[in-house]
Each structure stands twice: as C-alpha cells, then as structure tokens.
A and B are shown apart, each in its own frame.
Chain A
Amino acid sequence: MSATIKSLRTMKLGFAAAFAVLFVIATVACLSVIATHAITPWTFAVIMLDGISSLLIVGLTGWMTLRDLNARRSAEIALRYREERTRLLIEGVQDYAIFLLDPQGTVVSWNAGAQRIKGYTAAEIVGKNFSRFYPQEDIDQGKPEQELRIAAADGRCEAERWRVRKDGSRFWSKMVITAARSPSGALLGFSEISHDITERNERDVKYRGLLEAAPDAMVVVNEAGEILLLNLQAQKQFGYHSDELIGQQVKHIIPEGFAERLISDGTRSAAEALAQQIGTGIELRGHRKDGSDFPIEIMLSPLASSEGTLVTAAIRDISVRKDAEALLLKTVGELKRSNDELKHFAYVASHDLQEPLRMVASYTQLLAKRYRGKLDSDADEFIAYAVDGCNRMQQMIRDLLTYSSAGSGEIALQAVSSELALHVALANLRVAVEESGALVSHDSLPIVTTDDTQLTQVFQNLIGNAIKYRGSGVPRIHVSARTDGGKQRIFSVRDNGMGIDPQYFDRIFGLFQRLHGRGEFAGTGIGLSICKKILERLGGRIWVESQLNQGSTFHFALPDEGVSA
C-alpha cells in the first residue's frame, strides 16, 4: 500500500511547491521589470493581471488534479483492505492447505494450514515448484504438470491422492486446483486447496474390509435408493460387476416395493429402528443379472454418515436353507403320512379284525357251552384249543390297541408328585399286591414335570412285573429316585424276583417278547414295550440291571430341568 500513498503525498507537495515557486518568480520578475524598465503603470497592470490569471489557472488545475487523486486513493484503500482481510483469513485457516501457484507451478503464497499439513514454512517453500508435494512415482509420470494442464483447460482439477510432507511422510489428500484468469482470459496462475483425509480414508478402508470379510452380500444404499458400495460376495450372488451396480437403484436386485421399504425402514432413527426391529431378517427373492431369482434374507442397519443416512443391507442367499427346509417339510409330511397309516393299521388290526374274531370266539364258545361232553373227547379237546387260541388273540389285539394308543394322546406336562403316581399305581395293583403278599417300600420321591397318567402306567407295569416274576420268597420291591446332573431324574424299581439273564436285556422291551412259556405266566409281553414307548415319548429312557435269580432293578430316566431336589 505504502508506495501509492507515498506518491500521492509527493504529488501534493509538488503542486504546492510549484505554485509557490511560480508566484515568487512572477513577483520578482514584475518588480525587476518595474525597476529596470520605465514602463507605464497600465503596462504593469496588464502584465500583473496576465500573471495572476496564469497563476490562477495553474492553481485551479493543480487543485482539481489533487481532488481526483484523492478519490482514486480511497478506492484503492478499500480494495487493499478487502484483499488484506481475505489474505489474513486464508493465512489463518488451519485445516486446509491453501496456496497460490504461478502458471508454472511455483508457490507464490502459503497459509498456516499448508504449513501444518505439509510441514514447510512460507519462507521455505515460496518460490519453489509445487511438484515436490507429489510422491516420486507421480513426479516420474508427470502428474503435477498434468494436473495443472487439466485445471488450466477445465477450470479445475479435483483428485484424491497421496501427497508427501516436508519430512517425506505421506498422507492421503483430497485436493482441488483452480485456474485463476484475468478478465481478458490470460492465465494468471492457480490456487490449490487440499485437505488431509488419511483418517477418513483409513476408516473407509476398514469399513470396506469389514464389508468384504462379511459372509453375506453387503450393499450400502443411500436415501435415494442408489447403491453406493457393494462387496465381492454381492457381485457373486447377483452376477453383476461392481461397476454395473454402483449408482444404480437397489430395486434392480431386490423386489420393487421392498426397496422403498428398505430405505424407509433403514433410515428410521435408532430408537424407532429398535422399536420396529428392523434388524430382524425379512425373507424375499433377489434378482440375478441373468434374470433368475433366488430366496434371500435381508438384515438392515442404518449408518449415519457425512453423505446422510445410509442403509447397510446384509443379503443372505438362503437357497440351501430353503431347500433343506423344503426337504424337511417333505420328510415330515411323509413321516406323518406313514405314521397316520400306521395308526390306521393299528385301528384296523385292533378294531376291524376284532369283529370276525369275535364271531369265531363267540361261536366256538357257544359250541363249547352247548356241546361239551355231548360229542367225543377229541371234539372237546379241539374246541378247547380253538377257544384258547381265540382268547389269546383277543388279548393280543386288546394289548396292541393299548400299545398303539399309549402316549398317542396329548402329553399333559405338569408338576407331578411321583410319589402320588406310585400310590395310584399301587392302588390299581391292590389285588396282586395282596394276593402275593408283596412288600413295597419307597424313598421320598420328588416332584417332576411329566404326565401323571403315563408315569402311573410305568410304575404299574414295572411293579406288576416285579410281583408276577417273583422269586420263591416274599416279594420285596423298593422304589427310589436320584438326580443325574440336575438334567434328569432317574427312578429305580428294585425287586428280589427271579431276575433276567443279561443276554435278554434288549429283547424284553420288544413288542410281545416273552421269556417264559404261556403255561408259566399269563400275558402277551406288552408291559415293558408300553413303558419304553411312554418313556421315549416323554424324552426319557428305560433300562435294566439284573442277574438270573438275583432280582432285577429297572431304571428309568425322565428329563427334569429346573426342578430342585
């Protein structure tokens, strides 16, 4: 500024001095003329007037010139002030490097941000070429000149790239180089504004890494429904290359209608999102590039970013699971059908077969009743066998019906006193207990979560067997219970009966399996199979410990979680 103001001041002084010198010269000249030449006062007056007018003209001209100079001076001051203010502002910016280059790329100005980011002071860098901010490989490729050419041609050049600090370290920079031109269009130079985004870049790289590491297809969508980012898995799943999808509407790959929902659901506030449970999987169909589609499950999560709220959609191809589910359903359906057939078979066997059998039995019995002793002894024997056969067959059919219906109804799980169930079983067996003189004892038995009717049935069958297959002495039966790791109850029914040869342990639980002749013991051999069926249905099991002639102990386990001893 000072140069212009100084010259103005000099000009003012100059005019004043010139005016004074002219006045003095004119006066001296007049006086000398009067003194040396005898001239008339008129002549003198004319000369004086001429001199004064000349002086006035010179003074007026000088004054006007001075006034004009003052106005120009004020405009220049204002401009200078504005420039100064901008300069100070720019110089003070810390977060951005802002500097000017001449048309050749030489640094002509430098701000605090540039010093902070790049590490050079203004004194160190002004006058040097800006190419030193580029890594060597970029310099080798002529990047600095190239970017200036682009800025000169297009007005600006934007880039994200590695830059080098004074100490040689690198940082990831986002930069804009803008060309500065005079009103006539001559290139005056360039300005560069750049920013260190290393941290943001690292965050992006980490996020990207996270996306790529995900086992699912990951697609990031903005509020306009445009795909911003997708991982390799997404490209594989949908059959597109990343370039074909970025910037496209997400509805290309997931059903229309849902895409909108994805965005509206995904961009809810965190609180709303929680309330709406947007994170839960939603099953849909995804569209591949080749036009085929496949079942998908989508999990959404909102992501607040500088670009607004984004939605990250994790898209899982659930074809395999769907196929497995379909197979499972089919298998379950087949099982159910075969189970229904079996039930029907059991009904046919037990009910429809019973009808003709009832006829056979009734009429052989009628024969026996009416003609016993009236025919010969062979006839009596034959009829007796026919009657016996019918009776056994009827018993087996009844037992089969009992077996097929055992545990086929609803299981009513509830807290049950196993001790009470035992007492009910003993009441049902009262006659057998009294006739055999059996002594039945038991420990304190726990409350269990099970079906009381079925538990009673198991106790009844086991104690009934213990009485039936008793030894030579008084039958002694003891019932006890213990827990096994808190996960199940194990009940034991111990007797002093005839015992079982261990080789038959598996066989005795089979349907209609008997170890004794019919002459020795009644029954079809259904009791233990019913116990096994009931216990397996309740999630438990049954097994036996025994030695021939040394009594038997039947154990059964019932699942019993959460019930304390």
Chain B
Amino acid sequence: MSESTAMRSEAIEVLLVEDSPGDVRLTREALKDAKVHISLHVATDGIEAMAYLQRTGSHVNAPRPDLILLDLNLPKKDGREVLREIKESPSLRIIPVVILTTSSSDADVSQSYHLHANCYISKPVDLDGFLKVVHSIDNFWLSVVKLPRS
C-alpha cells in the first residue's frame, strides 16, 4: 500500500465520464480488484460532468474527485469541451484528467494534450487489454503518484 493511500483514511474519489453503460460496468468490474478503496462516480454526458464538478443541481453535495476518467465522444457536451473547461478553471485544473477513449487518431491525441490532458489512453478492443489498462490507471494514478489534496 502506497504512502499516499496510507495518509488518506477516506476512499479515493474518481469521476468516470462515460456514456456507454457497458464500459461503465467493465470499468467497475476492473476496479473491483483495485488495491485502494475507490469511490466511483459516473456522469453519462458532458453537461452532467460539468454539473458534478461545479456542484450544481442534484450534485450540490458531490465530493470533489481526485481523478477524472474522461471519454472524448460524449452526448450533449463533447469530451474535448469538458476538458477545456476543466483546464480553464483555476479550481478544477489541478485535478488529473485521464482521457480514456476508443479513438486512436493522432488529431485527438494531439488536441487532448494541447488542452492539457494529463494522459491519453486508447481503449483496447479486447477484455484482457481493457482490464490491464484499468489496472494500470489504478496502479499508477491511484497508488504511485502523489495527488494534490483537495
């Protein structure tokens, strides 16, 4: 167990912005084996994601996430737009954003980093690959790195 986790008594808050219920469930399944206690919150479109982050509407009491997993192709408000708004907000920009998407196009990769995404991951097409990726996220972002205190 890493130092950062040890210092936190409470669960690590993760916001997953993903419109596919199948992917949400797969992510949940993958995170079940996580080394740390993770509290996973889900927003299924860009509008809801921003409402959650800005604690408006039904999200007034939403906990501030320690990590955001963001899909790019989202209904209502595009993932790229969500990323821009997060990184333009002085209070939100310190939250690491992991782009987790099916797109592997160079344009999307480049644009995401220009918008200050913290990393970009293409979803593997097979289950084992996907599980491996989620475990890596869990291992690296939630165990190895030291995150800012909210």
Give chain A's interface residues, CB within 8 Å of chain B: 351, 354-355, 357-359, 361-363, 365-366, 369, 391, 394
Q: Check B102 for interface membership: any CB of A closer than 8 A.
A: yes
Given A365-B126, A366-B127, A394-B125, answer yes or no on A358-B102 (Cβ-Cβ < 8 Å): yes
Asked whether, in the complex, the Cβ of A365 is within 8 Å of the Cβ of B123, the reply is no
Q: Check B51 for interface membership: any CB of A closer than 8 A.
A: no
Given A354-B102, A358-B102, A362-B26, answer yes or no on A369-B20 (Cβ-Cβ < 8 Å): no
Q: CB-CB < 8 A to A369: which residues of B?
A: 127
Q: Check B22 for interface membership: any CB of A closer than 8 A.
A: yes
Asked whether, in the complex, the Cβ of B102 is within 8 Å of the Cβ of A361, the reply is no
**A363 vs B125: C-alpha distance in the bound complex, in angstroms?**
12
**A366 vs B131: C-alpha distance in the bound complex, in angstroms?**
10
Residue of B nearest to A360 (CB): B22
Q: CB-CB < 8 A to B123: which residues of A?
A: 358
Asked whether, in the complex, the Cβ of B102 is within 8 Å of the Cβ of A362, the reply is no
Q: CB-CB < 8 A to B127: which residues of A?
A: 361-362, 365-366, 369
Asked whether, in the complex, the Cβ of A365 is within 8 Å of the Cβ of B128, the reply is yes
Q: Residue-by-residue, is B24-40 near A (CB-CB < 8 Å gives 1, otherwise 0)?
A: 00100100000000000
Q: CB-CB < 8 A to A358: which residues of B?
A: 102, 123, 125
Q: CB-CB < 8 A to B130: which residues of A?
A: 362
Asked whether, in the complex, the Cβ of B29 is within 8 Å of the Cβ of A354, the reply is no
Q: CB-CB < 8 A to B128: which residues of A?
A: 365
In the complex, what's the smallest C-beta–C-beta distance from B76 to chain A, in angstroms? 18
- What band does the interface of chain B fall in when counting residues whose beta carbon is under 8 Å from A? 10 to 19
Residue of A nearest to B102 (CB): A355
**A391 vs B127: C-alpha distance in the bound complex, in angstroms?**
11
Residue of B nearest to A361 (CB): B126
Q: CB-CB < 8 A to A366: which residues of B?
A: 26, 29, 127
In the complex, what's the smallest C-beta–C-beta distance from A346 to chain B, in angstroms? 14
Asked whether, in the complex, the Cβ of A361 is within 8 Å of the Cβ of B125, the reply is yes
**A365 vs B125: C-alpha distance in the bound complex, in angstroms?**
11
In the complex, what's the smallest C-beta–C-beta distance from A386 to chain B, in angstroms? 12
> What does DSSP make chain B's interface, helix, strand, loop or mixed?
helix
Asked whether, in the complex, the Cβ of B22 is within 8 Å of the Cβ of A363, the reply is yes
Asked whether, in the complex, the Cβ of A354 is within 8 Å of the Cβ of B22, the reply is no
Given A354-B102, A355-B102, answer yes or no on A362-B20 (Cβ-Cβ < 8 Å): no
Residue of B nearest to A368 (CB): B127
Q: CB-CB < 8 A to B20: which residues of A?
A: 355, 359
**A437 vs B125: C-alpha distance in the bound complex, in angstroms?**
33
Residue of B nearest to A394 (CB): B125
In the complex, what's the smallest C-beta–C-beta distance from A140 to chain B, in angstroms? 94
In the complex, what's the smallest C-beta–C-beta distance from B69 to chain A, in angstroms? 17
Contact residue among B23, B102, B126 (Cβ-Cβ distance under 8 Å from A394): B126
Q: Name 23 interchain pairs, CB-CB below 8 A, sorted by A.
A: A351-B102, A354-B102, A354-B125, A355-B102, A358-B123, A358-B125, A359-B20, A361-B125, A361-B126, A361-B127, A362-B22, A362-B26, A362-B126, A362-B130, A363-B22, A365-B127, A365-B128, A366-B26, A366-B29, A366-B127, A391-B126, A394-B125, A394-B126
**A149 vs B107: C-alpha distance in the bound complex, in angstroms?**
96
10 residue pairs, one from A and one from B, having the closest CB atoms: A365-B127, A359-B22, A362-B127, A358-B125, A394-B125, A366-B127, A362-B26, A355-B102, A361-B126, A362-B130
**A391 vs B126: C-alpha distance in the bound complex, in angstroms?**
8
Give chain B's interface residues, CB within 8 Å of chain A: 20, 22-23, 26, 29, 102, 123, 125-128, 130
In the complex, what's the smallest C-beta–C-beta distance from B32 to chain A, in angstroms? 12
**A359 vs B20: C-alpha distance in the bound complex, in angstroms?**
9
**A347 vs B147: C-alpha distance in the bound complex, in angstroms?**
39
Interface centre among A358, A362, A366, A394 (most CB of B within 10 A): A362
Q: CB-CB < 8 A to A357: which residues of B?
A: 125
Residue of A nearest to B103 (CB): A351
Beyond contacts A358-B123, A359-B22, A362-B127: 17 other A-B pairs, Cβ-Cβ < 8 A, are A354-B125, A355-B102, A358-B102, A358-B125, A359-B20, A359-B23, A361-B125, A361-B127, A362-B22, A362-B126, A362-B130, A365-B127, A365-B128, A366-B29, A366-B127, A391-B126, A394-B125
**A394 vs B102: C-alpha distance in the bound complex, in angstroms?**
14
Q: CB-CB < 8 A to A359: which residues of B?
A: 20, 22-23
In the complex, what's the smallest C-beta–C-beta distance from B23 to chain A, in angstroms? 8
In the complex, what's the smallest C-beta–C-beta distance from A391 to chain B, in angstroms? 8
In the complex, what's the smallest C-beta–C-beta distance from B18 to chain A, in angstroms? 12
In the complex, what's the smallest C-beta–C-beta distance from A354 to chain B, in angstroms? 6
In the complex, what's the smallest C-beta–C-beta distance from A25 to chain B, in angstroms? 147
Q: CB-CB < 8 A to A351: which residues of B?
A: 102
In the complex, what's the smallest C-beta–C-beta distance from A45 to chain B, in angstroms? 155
In the complex, what's the smallest C-beta–C-beta distance from B13 to chain A, in angstroms? 26
In the complex, what's the smallest C-beta–C-beta distance from B53 to chain A, in angstroms? 26
**A499 vs B22: C-alpha distance in the bound complex, in angstroms?**
47
Q: CB-CB < 8 A to A362: which residues of B?
A: 22, 26, 126-127, 130
Residue of A nearest to B105 (CB): A351
In the complex, what's the smallest C-beta–C-beta distance from B31 to chain A, in angstroms? 14
Q: CB-CB < 8 A to A363: which residues of B?
A: 22
In the complex, what's the smallest C-beta–C-beta distance from B105 to chain A, in angstroms? 9
**A362 vs B23: C-alpha distance in the bound complex, in angstroms?**
9
In the complex, what's the smallest C-beta–C-beta distance from A384 to chain B, in angstroms? 14
Interface centre among A351, A355, A358 (most CB of B within 10 A): A358
In the complex, what's the smallest C-beta–C-beta distance from B108 to chain A, in angstroms? 12
In the complex, what's the smallest C-beta–C-beta distance from A62 to chain B, in angstroms? 132
**A11 vs B44: C-alpha distance in the bound complex, in angstroms?**
147
Q: CB-CB < 8 A to B102: which residues of A?
A: 351, 354-355, 358
**A359 vs B127: C-alpha distance in the bound complex, in angstroms?**
9
In the complex, what's the smallest C-beta–C-beta distance from A130 to chain B, in angstroms? 97
**A519 vs B52: C-alpha distance in the bound complex, in angstroms?**
52
Q: CB-CB < 8 A to B23: which residues of A?
A: 359
Q: CB-CB < 8 A to B29: which residues of A?
A: 366
In the complex, what's the smallest C-beta–C-beta distance from A484 to chain B, in angstroms? 39
**A411 vs B135: C-alpha distance in the bound complex, in angstroms?**
40
Q: CB-CB < 8 A to A391: which residues of B?
A: 126
**A97 vs B135: C-alpha distance in the bound complex, in angstroms?**
117
